[in-house]
Amino acid sequence: MIETVPETEEKVAVDLPWNVVVHNDPVNLMSYVTMVFKRVFGYSTERATEHMLEVHHKGRSIVWTGPREKAEFYVQQLHSYLLLATLEKAA
């Protein structure tokens, strides 16, 4: 009989992906937000514009998903550009 060792809860929590979410605010310029997405994530103009419009029309956009450490780095970058950004555990 093969026995498997279950992963610890901690390792599972670390492995779960995290979302980087950008939230709308009435002041940031659309052109500025698009520029920031291109700079921080290397997105094309088209993809950056899609996310910017999602923020504008829906109030928020999940702009990236991945490991927590990278998500924290991206949120820090977005804060340095003064975007309203948060990280949350992906569903």
Non-local (6+) Cβ contacts of 10 within 8 A are: none
Site for another protein, residues 7 to 36, rule: CB under 8 A: 25-29, 31-32, 35
Candidate ranges 8-16, 47-55, 57-65, 74-82; the one touching another protein (CB under 8 A): 74-82
CB of 1 to another protein, least distance (A): 40
Nearer to another protein, 3 or 46 (CB): 46
Nearer to another protein, 11 or 13 (CB): 13
CB 51 within 8 A of CB 61: yes
| Neighbour count for residue 56 (Cβ, 10 Å) | 14
46, 66, 71 from 74: Cα distances, Å: 20, 10, 5
Nearer to another protein, 3 or 69 (CB): 69
CB 5 within 8 A of CB 68: no
List residues near another protein by CB under 8 A: 25-29, 31-32, 35, 72, 75-76, 79-82, 84-88
